Structure 1
Amino acid sequence: MADIPNLRSLTADEFTTSFQALGQPAYRSAQILDWLWKKRVSSIDEMSNLPVSLRETLKEKYELSAPTIVRAQGSKDTTRKLLLKLKDGRFVECVLIPASPALYGEQSDRLTLCVSSQVGCAFACKFCASGLLGFTRNLTPGEITAQILLAEELAGTRVNNLVFMGMGEPLANLPNLLKAIELITSPEGLHIGARHLTISTSGLVPQIKKLADHPRQIRLAISLHGATDEVRSKIMPVNDRWGVDELFEALRYWNSKKKQHLTLEYILIKGINDDLEQARILAKRAKAIRAKVNLIPYNTVEGLPWERPSEDHCRAFRDILKNSGISATLRLEKGHDIDAACGQLRLREETNSE
């Protein structure tokens, strides 16, 4: 990719510093931020209240390219999955998820976007299509935030809840992720409250602790998928580096720094991690860190041999948690019919084009 920075990767402070260096008045920074995040222009030439000479200077120093939507699966009233093409020809995905009436009521305006942070993934979680082609590169802050702009344009309404659990491991791209979060939460940017942002990680212990020390009250979800090392290592190679006990020590540190409850994500895979004894152990672990548990029956990935358990078995697993006093939800159907597992659309597009 070209080394020229994207304007939508710059924070308000960076704009101020850049404009001071160019000998421009401070108010120019506010004008450009308004064009970028409120008016959402697609080119520097559209910034009509800037002098022509300044626009030419900006075009020399910056770009304003954005991903394009290649494909959208689903409908307005259901989960919609978007395949986006980046400037370098690579693909990423994001997913629009409307509010569930059962959880939020019929009149809820909650609209969640599942955001990608990398092209591909190096962590090779066994249930996930994102890592099947390996890791390509990190997304820039501008590419992360562009997913929100494109999703809002498609939906015709504001996205008010973000989960960083699309393609890639967010904490492996922590500097760009934190910069994107500054753009997302800033009043000059998208102005989405930090409490409406959730970062999902496969369990990068040092980065969890670093994020715990960050001042924003961001929510954290852990892709756990196994309550013991024996089971989790079958699914999550990262567990061989940071085992379950070390991970939960980091989560206790998180709790000492943050107010929001943790969420443990647990994909139920038939015959792999759905034994009811795992539910009992999971209940004890969740209670120790005051965590909620989100159970997700496995979404079939082409080329992988695993299956989802029966609905009755999923409910039995959930009920063990609930009967132990754990807040547990079971997401039986959210996008199973639109290649919902992370990276499936990208996998199909890139393998078909090679």
Structure 2
Amino acid sequence: MYDEKVVLKNLTENEMKEFLVSIGEKKFRGGQIFSWVYRGIKDFDEMNNIPKSLRAKLSESSIIGNIDVELRLESKVDNTKKYLFLLNDGSIIETVAMIYDSRVTVCVSNQVGCRMGCRFCASTIDGLYRNLEPWEILDQVLKVQEDLGMRVSNVVMMGSGEPLDNYENSVQFLKLVNEENGLNIGYRHITLSTCGVVDKIYDLADLQLPINLAISFHSPFDEERKKIMPVANKFSIRDILKSCRYFIEKTGRRITFEYSLIKGVNDSENEASEIVKLLRGMLCHVNLIPINPVDERDFEKPSKEYINKFKDYLDKNNIPVTIRNSMGADISGACGQLRRKFKNTDGTV
């Protein structure tokens, strides 16, 4: 896509220094250039402490890597902002910024589309177009930070796409966003959400990065889960829970189980009772999410009474649980909703 040029935003600071050495330059120049990249520059000529000859060499061998804001919407009901970003190949992706007092959380996408097929999610309706590169995930955070004029403190990988289906690029992004002289966002302030790609959960655990892992659960019964989430045909609930316990053992981090409540599908006491049996004694937390209706699906949100009843059952059985407030509902806040209104079938504008 980039004629074999190195994308500077794909590189950690050490990798940047190694790249400069590889093109015949001093290692310290890598630190200078790394710093410029994180100041949001768009052109090599903005690097005013870098010799003109080196800037010319960089323009021949590399690109900085920038995505563009195509659309920005602001919620009238809460401090949520939603962005459509235009990528270099014409694809578009969504990013959401949620502002809580002085804390900014950015929800990033990691794929154009998704092939997981979860029935409640708009991102997956047209399938997967392509994976995002690490810099394309990173630049969502940088561009939001620049637009808001506020430091991003937290990142959630809960936008369009399955992070563990784009494993290598997602891991590189985690390293990039944690770089001390870059965004310097601590691993404990980063959450990766997966529908349960078990083999990659083990791989991630072995890296021992102290991030937060969230599992899209949505049913405690394998056969019912298969109807909602096709990935359940490959990975059973038992396998997922085993991999989660391994992750806890390796990282010491609590697992969050994301549970979208769907009226008449997974919101009965039968499901709540089974969740208690499965999760009792595990270092975990259940996040109940009243489902966001999607035009192309016929799922409905349960009543407030049913939602509270489900929560109370888990509470009284000592399963830590909260109800996630839906944010950005007036600006198509759910994953993939806004993008579908603006894109062609190949994911482009």
Q: Fold-level match, TM-score > 0.5?
A: yes
Counterparts of 1:159 and 1:304, CA distance in 2: 33
2:335 maps to 1:342: yes
Amino acid at match of 2:86: K
**Counterpart position of 1:103:** none
Tell me the alpha carbon deviations over residues 211-254 of structure 1, each in whole angstroms, 9 at most, x when there is no partner.
00113211100000111102211111000000111111111111
Counterparts of 2:89 and 2:192, CA distance in 1: 26
Given the two structures, how large is their TM-score scaled by the length of structure 1?
Answer: 0.94
In the TM superposition, residue 75 of structure 1 has moved relative to its aligned partner by 4.1
Stretch of structure 1 that moved more, 201-210 or 323-332: 323-332
In the TM superposition, residue 192 of structure 1 has moved relative to its aligned partner by 0.6
Counterparts of 1:126 and 1:139, CA distance in 2: 22
Asked if the contact 1:115/1:162 (under 8 Å) is kept, the reply is yes
Asked if the contact 1:311/1:332 (under 8 Å) is kept, the reply is no
In the TM superposition, residue 302 of structure 1 has moved relative to its aligned partner by 1.3
**Counterpart position of 1:94:** 95
Amino acid at match of 1:59: S
2:274 maps to 1:273: no
Amino acid at match of 1:73: L
Asked if the contact 2:18/2:27 (under 8 Å) is kept, the reply is no
Matches within 5 A, 1:1-354: 1-2=1-2, 3-37=4-38, 39-75=39-75, 78-99=79-100, 108-351=101-344
Amino acid at match of 2:12: T
Asked if the contact 1:170/1:199 (under 8 Å) is kept, the reply is yes
In the TM superposition, residue 65 of structure 1 has moved relative to its aligned partner by 3.5
The number of equivalent residue pairs is 345
**Counterpart position of 1:102:** none
Counterparts of 2:258 and 2:335, CA distance in 1: 14
Asked if the contact 2:75/2:330 (under 8 Å) is kept, the reply is no
Aligned sequence identity (%): 40
Asked if the contact 2:208/2:251 (under 8 Å) is kept, the reply is no
Tell me the alpha carbon deviations over residues 270-295 of structure 1, each in whole angstroms, 9 at most, x when there is no partner.
11111221011112222242210101
Stretch of structure 1 that moved more, 125-134 or 283-292: 283-292
In the TM superposition, residue 95 of structure 1 has moved relative to its aligned partner by 0.8
Asked if the contact 1:224/1:266 (under 8 Å) is kept, the reply is yes
**Divergent runs of 4+, >6 A:** none
**Counterpart position of 1:105:** none
In the TM superposition, residue 340 of structure 1 has moved relative to its aligned partner by 1.8
Asked if the contact 1:171/1:201 (under 8 Å) is kept, the reply is yes
In the TM superposition, residue 4 of structure 1 has moved relative to its aligned partner by 2.5
3-state DSSP class of the match of 2:106?
strand
Given the two structures, how large is their TM-score scaled by the length of structure 2?
Answer: 0.95
Stretch of structure 1 that moved more, 189-198 or 7-16: 7-16
CA RMSD of aligned residues (A): 1.6
Tell me the alpha carbon deviations over residues 150-200 of structure 1, each in whole angstroms, 9 at most, x when there is no partner.
111222201101110100000111111111111110112211111101100
In the TM superposition, residue 338 of structure 1 has moved relative to its aligned partner by 1.9
Counterparts of 1:30 and 1:212, CA distance in 2: 30
Asked if the contact 1:270/1:308 (under 8 Å) is kept, the reply is yes
Counterparts of 2:163 and 2:69, CA distance in 1: 22
Counterparts of 2:193 and 2:334, CA distance in 1: 15
Counterparts of 1:289 and 1:31, CA distance in 2: 46
Q: Structure 2: which 5+ residue stretches go unaligned?
A: none
Counterparts of 2:60 and 2:279, CA distance in 1: 53
3-state DSSP class of the match of 1:189?
coil
3-state DSSP class of the match of 2:17?
helix
Amino acid at match of 1:187: E
Asked if the contact 1:4/1:63 (under 8 Å) is kept, the reply is yes
3-state DSSP class of the match of 2:318?
coil
Asked if the contact 2:115/2:127 (under 8 Å) is kept, the reply is yes
Counterparts of 1:87 and 1:59, CA distance in 2: 17
Stretch of structure 1 that moved more, 286-295 or 201-210: 286-295
